Amino acid sequence: MLGLTNLQGQTKGAKFRKPAATTTTATSFNPEKDPPFLGAKVQWVDSVMKSLTPEERIAQLIMIPVYSNKNQAHIDSISNLIKTYKVGGLIFFQGGPVRQAKMTNRYQSESKVPLMVTIDGEWGLSMRLDSTMGFPYQMALGGIEDEKLIYEMGAEIARQCKRMGINVNFAPTVDINNNANNPVIGFRSFGEDKYNVARKSMAYMKGMQDNHVLASAKHFPGHGDTNVDSHYGLPLINFSRIRLDSTELFPFRMLMANGLGSVMVAHMNIPVLDNTHNLASTLSKPIVTDLLKKELNYKGIVFTDALNMQGVAKFYPPGIVDVKALLAGNDILLNTMDVKTTIAEVKKAIANKEITQEEIDLRVRKVLMAKQWMGLDKWQPIETKNLIQDLNNPHAQYIQRQLAEASLTLLRNKNNILPVQTLDTLKVAALAIGTTKETDFQRGLSRYTKVDTFFLAPTATIADLQALKAKLQDYNLVIAGVHKLQLKASGSGTFGITAEMNLFLKDLMRSKKTIVGVFGNVYSLAKFEGIEKADAVIAAYQETALTQDLVAQMVFGGTGAKGKLPVNVSNAFKIGDGLQTEGGLRLAYTTPEAVGLKSQHLAGIDSLVQQAIAEKATPGAQVLVAKNGKVIYYKSFGYHTYDNQTPVQNTDLYDLASVTKISTSLAAFMKLKGEGRFDENKTLGAYLPELTEDTDKANLKYTDILTHQARLQAWIPFWKETVKKNGHFKWKTFKADSSARFPIKVAQNLYIHRKYADKIYDEIMESPLNEKPGYVYSDLSFILAPLVVQKIVGLNFEDYLKNQIYRPIGATTLTFNPYKYYPLSRIVPTEYEPHFRKQLLHGTVHDEGAAMLGGLSGHAGLFGNANDVAKLMQLYLNDGTYANKEYIRGNTVSKFSKCQFCDQGNYRALGFDRPSKPGSENGNAAKSAPAESFGHSGFTGTYTWIDPVNDLVYVFLSNRVNPTRENSKLSKLNTRTNVLQVVYEAIEKAKAAGASTVQQ
């Protein structure tokens, strides 16, 4: 358990694993309180000690800097130092993981005693290595309420270090950042509250050390209140001893009392502890030996800070500075720049009786005990195969996501503007301040509703501000992201915030509802004049694709706000501030791990879609899977067409074909049913008496119509009636140009007579009913559905759907005739159609009947992307509710989605498809889809499925008819249902793993 019960009762009760006990001769070893390596097996230590010469023992205390991004001369020079002087350890700086791993393997094989390999990775390996992932900065972690997340981060960083052959991570930074102008710590600190810093540091330390990577608390005795960067000078700390004891030393004491493995001593001049002029704490015996080792009784390893930093290097040359650090009481000399001179100077100090060989030997034994605890007595070469993948594993990415999400801090929320409601009443501008390129924040916002993007460059002039203000005039909500801020307040101290930015933002907040997300150092909030007057203010701590993604989700309620400010920023924003909001309001976008699944178990989706593309079953596709209201998989594959010119993007629109039926006609019928304005037990004639009069269609009951057993014909090729024997169109049907008589666009350069729709409806009414009763899938009633809806509501079918359902839930790409609203580059072409329109259908509907109705019908014609289809399907899964608003009342969806005539062999629900043969390998649903699941497929290669048992929404969009509808490979491969089967198998694997864990 986190041993901080004395921290004013502020421990969260978070439980962490205890370190495993190891064999030791030190009977006084306490695994709860002592550095873990003091429980090492001493037999190996003894044997190594006997093998070392006095010079080699000194070398064990030397750690040299190594870079994996330097040339061969550097690599070989390190090798020479290892072989010649037998140095004890390496600290790796900038480079790449595979290069570093290969260097480590080489150096370990050349070393007489295994090397202690270290890294300065406060936020993970990415602080130093490319191709690796970073976790949030410590300032962001300071805003998290749940320390268990930070423990998991520490454990994952340890796993990654071990995978890289790294034994010590110089983290956590336990400095209390009580100086907002600190140029060296700042965002590297957990904050300015000593209790919070101690709790967070403890969790990080435990996570690493429980996984046998040594933690190192830094920078002793506390570097948080300084205005000098010790990389470039020697900070002067003029505090009283009482202040140091009560504040700076507090987290060090707490960690030391709970098994801290190592400490790094800072380069600072602290007169109250040692008044020697220009002497850094690293070189001070009163600080390192008397205070740290004796008074605080610290038994772990004491590292110097880097000895090439100007805080010490400007006063003493290499070799001399190292000896001074050793004489002060440090155990390991970090960044020794002259190994030969250092060893010689240490030998001279021994000869001069400034230090004894016995004292050296005690420190060497401590180092060797740490090496044994780290497993270096059984060192194995690092396997470089799959190294990058292992370091960027899904579990780590999920931890990273959880941490970032938990840190986001909502500082203002006037009238509970967040999460944003009533999307259909808003015209939203997404403004990026500080950049001229589309941001991840803007893209994230656009997943929830239509947003228009604007930019305020850092170089903007007053004229630019006025022009932008005019452009924003018509918007009633502006969501502004502040980007490209400087990480430190160096120089002007403004973090790069210009007077023009301040001027514009102040004016904007006065005139518009404004939400501001600040992606950068939290102290930058103090530099925005009056930002607390914004309707909402969100502190994101740093600018990454992930933080922008998560803030966008918070704005619309995909996730909730949880973080608390870990520092005092200004009078408006104080430590502990942080409002909470509800998450799960709308779809969230996350990883499979968030719902208990494993990313690798969904890898089969990629394989199946790539196979379909490789076999030319479709040129491309969009695939989305949501579980428990969270989108856990959303990818686009391939290209718009087989010419491989335009890659499919998640934002592209597909022709949904028959998925239109459940997305338009059925959506309207269910909404009207919930309002008591539509009754499936009534007849077609009850709703369209003038059209059905004197026909055999008047008495067709809607329960039979929607289950496709009303004896209606499957379809009618309406277009054939328009063609003469010579292949030309009859002159009263189509024209190449639009006019008052031919206003309705069917395709490019093809317009139909304004009254031709009446002829289509007449053809349906005159068509004979099927002789035999029973199930026959039919388009005809859905072609009539818009007339029924319009008759009931007195509104245009499309307007009704958009205003009552699509816009309110943010499904703004769901539209008929997308060419009117979107560039063709965002619309995926369907078929090159040779028999009727004789052209590539791009932006107009594929279905001939829907095209002749001007692209607007209840059976086909709807376009959209997978994301917006998923919102509608989630509404269905939620039985008519989305974002806490009920759109379809009375449990209508669950009633309509039930099988109506299963006992008669008709597996259809009302409008929805259901599994025809549950458990079948080749059915219309995935093999494992339960009988309660429902959905629909479309001729163009689309498919969506809803599973209320497993809380799943699945959308597959493709244009398998490109270039021709004769291509049936997608169905033969069962790609659409097999992809969903991968999800079911992942769920089963998760259940099996859970059952196995319970049994253990």
Per residue in 608-621, pLDDT (tens digit) is 999 999 999 999 99
- Would the pLDDT of 472 be above 80? yes
| Averaged confidence pLDDT in the chain | 94
- Would the pLDDT of 13 be above 60? no
Instruction: With beta carbons less than 8 A apart as the criterion, state whether 554 and 586 touch.
Output: no
- Would the pLDDT of 516 be above 70? yes
Q: Using 50, 70 and 90 to split pLDDT, how confident is the model at 292?
A: very high
Distance CA 153, CA 140 (A): 13
Indicate the pTM of the whole model: 0.94
* Residue spans of beta strands (DSSP E) within 532-667: 536-539, 588-589, 620-627, 630-638, 654-655
Name the residue among 591, 644, 659, 667 with its Cα closest to residue 976. Answer: 659
- Would the pLDDT of 213 be above 90? yes
Average pLDDT, stretch 564-592? 97
- Would the pLDDT of 5 be above 90? no
Predicted pLDDT of residue 19 = 38
Predicted pLDDT of residue 313 = 85
- Would the pLDDT of 77 be above 90? yes
To 10 degrees, the CA torsion angle through 632, 638, 640, 641?
Answer: -150
Average pLDDT, stretch 519-529? 94
Predicted pLDDT of residue 15 = 41
Residue bearing tokens 């809380």: 951
Topology (CATH) of 408-583: Rossmann fold (3.40.50)
Residues 222-260 have pLDDT tens digits of: 876 676 666 777 778 888 899 899 999 999 999 999 999
Name the residue among 679, 670, 681 with its Cα closest to residue 704. Answer: 681
Q: Using 50, 70 and 90 to split pLDDT, how confident is the model at 526?
A: very high
Residues 681-710 have pLDDT tens digits of: 999 999 999 999 999 999 999 999 999 999
Do the two domains 37-390 and 587-650+913-1000 of this chain adopt the same fold?
no
Least confident of 173-187, 542-556, 744-758, 906-920: 173-187
Average pLDDT, stretch 397-415? 98
DSSP string covering 125-153: GGGTBTTS--PPPHHHHTT-S-HHHHHHH
Distance CA 181, CA 239 (A): 17
Least confident of 120-134, 385-399, 426-440, 894-908: 894-908
Predicted pLDDT of residue 179 = 74
- Would the pLDDT of 853 be above 60? yes
- Would the pLDDT of 887 be above 80? yes
Among the four given CATH numbers 3.40.50.720, 3.90.600.10, 3.20.20.300, 3.40.1360.10, the one describing domain 37-390: 3.20.20.300
- Would the pLDDT of 606 be above 50? yes
Predicted pLDDT of residue 363 = 98
Average pLDDT, stretch 80-104? 98
In terms of Cβ atoms closer than 10 Å to its own Cβ (0-12, 13-18, 19+), residue 202 is buried
Distance CA 795, CA 805 (A): 14
- Domain range summary for the chain, segments of one domain joined by +: 37-390, 408-583, 587-650+913-1000
Q: Using 50, 70 and 90 to split pLDDT, how confident is the model at 774?
A: very high
- Would the pLDDT of 8 be above 80? no
Average pLDDT, stretch 639-654? 97
Predicted pLDDT of residue 493 = 77
- Would the pLDDT of 119 be above 70? yes
Q: Using 50, 70 and 90 to split pLDDT, how confident is the model at 29?
A: confident
- Would the pLDDT of 893 be above 70? yes
User: Is the domain defined by 587-650+913-1000 classed in CATH 3.30.450?
Assistant: yes
Distance CA 970, CA 609 (A): 10
